Chain A
Amino acid sequence: MPFVTCGDPDLESTRALLLAYIEAGADIVEVGIPFTDPLADGPTIQRANERALRGGTTMEDALGLIADVRRQTDTPLIPMTYINPVYQVGYDRFAARCAEAGADGVIISDLPPEAGREWIEAGRRYGVDTIFLLAPTSDEARIRRVAEASSGFIYAVARMGVTGARTDAPPEIGALIERIRKHSDTPICAGFGFSSASQIAQTCRDTSVDGIIVGAALIDRLENTSGSNEERSLPPPPSHAS
């Protein structure tokens, strides 16, 4: 499950990336809506947010792009953002816009379910899944509460900290997933710090995780690759997009 920051560095690049990931077999794609103060993100995704905002990317741009891509694919598309841009639009209107665009669910990194009651109701009203996070520090009471509030999947934070590529296998994710399974049948996807095939393979072998989210590691590679889309091994943007 790849993550892209929408508009990094421009919308056409994001469109090309999304389609390439989907063609390469991504099960779900997360689309980051940029925010000036991404508290849960490490330096890589912070930089991606800065580039996207410098290019003027808005929430409407992101939802517009999701709507475009939705016309070409059934692959689930999940906007991921922070609470303040959503708060400004309004929970109800944001849920309605996500549903119209064909987004399947939404992740809001700094919205725990206690603060998200209105959001949960709006998501249900418009058929947009509300995906909440659980972390290695979450206790049983929180796991129960978050599992009840989550639909689509549960986002298991694989390690303490912010997003960013790491090379070691996360030591705590297996135990967290087993604790979540006691309270929920909702699929569990893990993210934060995944960067290599071997690390992902090991986590999939050692745990019952349903999906792995990779964000910063992919953005790192894009940052380190200059030149045209062909040189980046990306397909050229679809003709209707240019």
Chain B
Amino acid sequence: MRTIDKPSPTSGETTDSAVEAQMDAPTPGHFGPYGGQFAPETLMVALRELEEIYEQAKNDDAFKAELSALLRDFAGRPTPLLFAERLTAHFGGAKIFLKREDLLHTGAHKINNTLGQALLARRMKKPRLIAETGAGQHGVATATVAARFGFRCDVYMGEEDTQRQALNVFRMRLLGAKVIPVTSGSQTLKDATNEAMRDWVTNVRDTHYIIGSVVGPHPFPAMVRDFHAITGQEARKQFQEVTGKLPDACVACVGGGSNAMGLFYPFIEDVGVQLIGVEAAGDGLNSGRHAAPLNRGSRGVLHGSLSYIMQDAAGQITPTHSISAGLDYPGVGPEHAHMKDTGRAQYVAVTDAEALEAFQLLCKLEGIIPALESSHALAYLETLARELGPDKTILVNLSGRGDKDVNTVQSFLQNEPRMNTDEHR
């Protein structure tokens, strides 16, 4: 073995031209300063392959036709737009319309993305899919497409989440996926994502990692957004058909931010349409127990991209809390970070208690059991509908159904009997 001299500062191989070459290197996947590719070297070639395959596929009529057919026949698109008559009357303000992503196969918007990425994995000839999941909806949607196309499938889920979303764990197992409980760190979505990344680094040659939100290194944030943009495209058309105009505001919950990005994206150029993302304030934004990086976080890199994250001054990721496992995440998609900075979208937050109240309200007034995640979007309607007034309209992404959450809600209401009153009848 050769001996290594102490690498002196001047012995570096880097030349001026090398640095210039780096300066000229493309920096794909940026939204303003946010996004990028902060990934271990082992993944870099796979990320480029994914980017190339996706670029080909999105301009390929055969790919688009196959995805459309699957979204229609397998997932159940288009989803309806529903005027929430009694909810509107209850608040006495703006007219509220619900985009019914809760009616999709598997019970949430997540299937839009997993179908698209499964087709890409098949193009890349990768026989195995992995995913991270918080609430279990993305895990179920991944397990579902794995079953449909014959992929092997492993899903990483925080141990705490496997308990609060036990029903979804069983669904994934029924669908043939292996659910791997993650016991490291906070045992929630962040740690499940860490473990999925570690698996991917190890098995990247035969495995595609279906990231479940508009997060991660490029090309994931833009690609996942594109697969979910069908929500906003349909809703925009439906809304015009029903009302003759565009909504005054679009509202969606934001954890990683995929359902919000999917709803917002086709409205970005419609400057008259206010875009409002609702984060999880947990016990309150000032309690230190929340999951609201856009409201209370700062710039940093988590899971491969620069965005707003929850961290301490030294850049260590701080624990989060939300009653909703799907929103209990310290990061957010980089495009949301950019839209916050530019002012194109506003980001507010509602507490666990407010989300639970909205959950019950939708059950009782509209006959729809919403997911706890989506209940965060609903919880902001009281404020917004009154603020806008009866002449205005609001489009809400009802991103998922709440069957998975009934146990959580039940135990919460037993502990807080005050909330189980009839005040909303």
Contact = CB atoms under 8 A, between A and B. Distances in A.
Interface string A28-42: 100000011101101
Contact of A37 (B12, B39, B194, B314): B194
Interface in B183-241: 184-185, 190, 194, 197-198, 201-205
A150 B19 CA distance: 10
B395 to A, nearest CB: 36
Interface in A87-104: 87-89, 99, 104
B420 to A, nearest CB: 38
Nearest to B316: A36
A218 interface: no
A84 B45 contact: no
B39 A84 contact: no
A133 interface: yes
B14 A138 contact: no
A160 to B, nearest CB: 5
A129 B19 contact: no
Interface string A77-115: 000000111111100000000010000110001111111
B317 A36 contact: yes
Interface stretch (A2-10, A11-19, A139-147): A139-147
A75 B302 CA distance: 33
B266 interface: no
Interface in B44-73: 44-46
Contacts of B299: 87
Contacts of B11: 151-152
Contacts of A133: 40-41
B301 interface: yes
Contacts of B302: 37, 84
B311 A139 contact: no
B127 interface: no
B45 A139 contact: yes
A116 B317 CA distance: 21
B271 interface: no
B417 interface: no
Nearest to B26: A114
B315 A37 contact: no
Contacts of A104: 6-9
Q: Give the interface size class of chain A.
A: 35 or more
A112 B7 contact: no
Contacts of B4: 27-28, 76, 153, 187, 189, 210-211
A35 B301 CA distance: 12
Q: Give the interface size class of chain B.
A: 35 or more
Contacts of A105: 7
Interface in B1-36: 1-4, 6-15, 18-19, 21-23, 25-27, 36
A87 B27 contact: no
A185 interface: yes
A169 interface: no
Contacts of B185: 36-37
B42 interface: yes
A132 interface: yes
Given A27-B3, A39-B40, A137-B205, A88 B300 contact: yes
B38 interface: yes
Contacts of A44: none
A148 B316 CA distance: 31
B201 A161 contact: yes
B37 interface: yes
A115 B315 CA distance: 18
B198 A129 contact: no
A142 B25 CA distance: 12
Contacts of A83: 38, 301
Interface in A16-67: 27-28, 35-37, 39-40, 42-43, 46, 53, 58-59
B201 A117 contact: no
B317 A111 contact: no
A184 interface: yes
B7, B23, B39, B304 pick with most chain A CB within 10 angstroms: B7
A178 interface: no
Contact of A210 (B1, B9, B12): B1
26 contacts: A35-B315, A37-B194, A39-B198, A39-B303, A84-B311, A104-B6, A112-B37, A112-B41, A115-B38, A124-B12, A132-B41, A135-B42, A136-B42, A137-B43, A137-B45, A139-B45, A142-B41, A146-B41, A148-B14, A148-B15, A148-B18, A149-B18, A151-B11, A151-B13, A160-B201, A209-B1
The 10 closest A-B pairs by CB, nearest first: A151-B12, A127-B9, A152-B7, A161-B202, A88-B315, A85-B315, A148-B18, A135-B42, A133-B41, A84-B315
Interface of A: 27-28, 35-37, 39-40, 42-43, 46, 53, 58-59, 74-76, 83-89, 99, 104-105, 109-117, 120-121, 124, 127-130, 132-139, 142, 145-153, 157, 160-162, 184-187, 189, 204, 208-211
Given A137-B43, A148-B13, A151-B11, 17 more contacts: A36-B317, A83-B301, A85-B315, A88-B315, A109-B40, A112-B39, A115-B37, A121-B19, A124-B19, A135-B41, A142-B44, A145-B22, A147-B13, A149-B22, A153-B7, A160-B202, A210-B2
